Structure 1
Amino acid sequence: MGFREKYAELGERYERIDGPLERFFDPLRRKASRFVAGRVLEIGVGTGFMLPYYPEDIELHTIDAVPEMLEVAKKKAKELGLNASFYVMDAERLEFPDESFDTVLSTFVFCTVPNPENAMKEIHRVLKPGGRAIFLEHTKSDCRLLNWLFLKPLDVLLGFLLEDNTLRETHLLARNYFEIEHEESHYRGIVRLLVGRKV
């Protein structure tokens, strides 16, 4: 069973599982939302954790590979009075023309994408020159001990449950495609916020 099937089975229950972590992620989501502008694409919207934080003056488009998660996000957007477009789509095969967006945002998605390199190429492709790519992601820590004592066991558990990989180095991959303007490391690098620009 792949990540799509596992997340599909969770549906609305995903928020009850991930919800307790939101008190740690909430300030970082708020901070990430301050960098968005113009025509915005959110990769992997999931159940819509980011939706409450978007500014009103953007044109928001969102994708997710799991229809069941997307339905939850649609309901949340309606409750918030948010005007957004939702598409069932794979991050590795974005069905948008080149240079379509001013901002592309990804929050806690690259730990799940089967081929992160392909997804990064697609983000770069659909972003306009000078546009921003924003990543708020789980990453491998700078502390080896933390990786072995915490992230490695968590990686085994989440890999089994959700096909998540908590030891990815998305912060390094992003540097191959974007000029990094802003970077923050939180919880010893377990979570990072990066803002890159397409040059």
Structure 2
Amino acid sequence: MGFREKYAKLGERYERIDGPLERFFDPLRRKAAGYVAGRVLEVGVGTGFMLPHYPRDIELHAIDAVPEMVEVAKERAEEIGLNARFYVMDAEKLEFPSGSFDTVLSAFVFCTVPDPERAMAEIHRVLKPGGRVILLEHTKSDCRLLNWLFLKPLDVLLGLLLEDNTLRETHLLARKYFEIEHEESHYRGIVRLIVGRKG
């Protein structure tokens, strides 16, 4: 069973699993949303944890590979009065013309994407020249001990449950495609906020 099927089976129950962590992540989500402007694409919207944080003057488009997640996100957008368009779509195959967006944001997505290199290349493609990418992601820690004592056991558990990989080095991958303007490491690198620009 792949990540789509696992997330689809969870549906709204996903929030019961991830929800308790949101008190830690919520301030970082707000900070990430502060960097968006113009025509914005959120890659991997999930059930819509990012939606309440977006400024109301943007043109928001949001994708996810799991239809059940997209439906929950749509309902959340309607509840908060956010105007957004939603699509069922893979991060590795974005069905938008090149140079479509001023900003692309992903939050806790690259730990799940089956082919992160291809997804990053697609984000680069759909951004306008000079456009911004904002990545708020789980990453491998800078601390080896933390990786072995915490992230490795968590990786096994989340791998079985959701096909998540908490030990990916998305921060290094982003540097291959974008000029990094800002990078923050939180919880010893377990979470990073990265802002890059397409040259």
Give the Cα separation in 1 of the matches to 2:11 and 2:45.
13
Equivalence for 1:62? 62
Secondary structure of the corresponding residue to residue 129 of structure 2: strand
Secondary structure of the corresponding residue to residue 130 of structure 2: strand
TM-score under structure 2 length normalisation: 1.00
Equivalence for 2:142? 142
CA RMSD of aligned residues (A): 0.3
Equivalence for 1:197? 197
Displacement, 1:6? 0.1
Matches within 5 A, 1:41-190: 41-190=41-190
Q: What CA deviation, in whole Å up to 9, does each residue of 1:84-118 have, x standing for no partner? A: 00000000000000000000000000000000000
Secondary structure of the corresponding residue to residue 23 of structure 2: helix
Q: Structure 1: where are the runs of 5+ without partners?
A: none
Q: What CA deviation, in whole Å up to 9, does each residue of 1:22-55 have, x standing for no partner? A: 0000000000000000000000000000000000
Give the Cα separation in 1 of the matches to 2:178 and 2:29.
21
Displacement, 1:70? 0.4
Q: Which amino acid aligns with 2:90?
A: D
Give the Cα separation in 1 of the matches to 2:120 and 2:71.
25
Q: What CA deviation, in whole Å up to 9, does each residue of 1:136-159 have, x standing for no partner? A: 000000000000000000000000
Give the Cα separation in 2 of the matches to 1:41 and 1:141.
27
Secondary structure of the corresponding residue to residue 176 of structure 1: helix
Give the Cα separation in 2 of the matches to 1:30 and 1:120.
22
Give the Cα separation in 2 of the matches to 1:17 and 1:34.
26
Give the Cα separation in 1 of the matches to 2:183 and 2:90.
26
Q: Which amino acid aligns with 2:36?
A: V
Secondary structure of the corresponding residue to residue 177 of structure 2: coil
Give the Cα separation in 1 of the matches to 2:94 and 2:18.
26
Q: Which amino acid aligns with 1:151?
A: L
TM-score under structure 1 length normalisation: 1.00
Displacement, 1:16? 1.0
Q: Which amino acid aligns with 1:33?
A: A
Give the Cα separation in 2 of the matches to 1:69 and 1:101.
23
Give the Cα separation in 2 of the matches to 1:55 and 1:136.
17
Q: Which amino acid aligns with 1:6?
A: K
Question: Taking every aligned residue pair, what percent have the same amino acid on both sides?
Answer: 86
Displacement, 1:66? 0.1
Count matched residues: 199
Give the Cα separation in 2 of the matches to 1:7 and 1:56.
29
Give the Cα separation in 1 of the matches to 2:16 and 2:140.
25
Give the Cα separation in 2 of the matches to 1:31 and 1:52.
12
Equivalence for 1:3? 3
Give the Cα separation in 1 of the matches to 2:192 and 2:12.
26
Secondary structure of the corresponding residue to residue 119 of structure 1: helix
Q: Which portions of structure 1, spanning 4 or more consecutive aligned residues, are displaced by more than 6 angstroms?
A: none
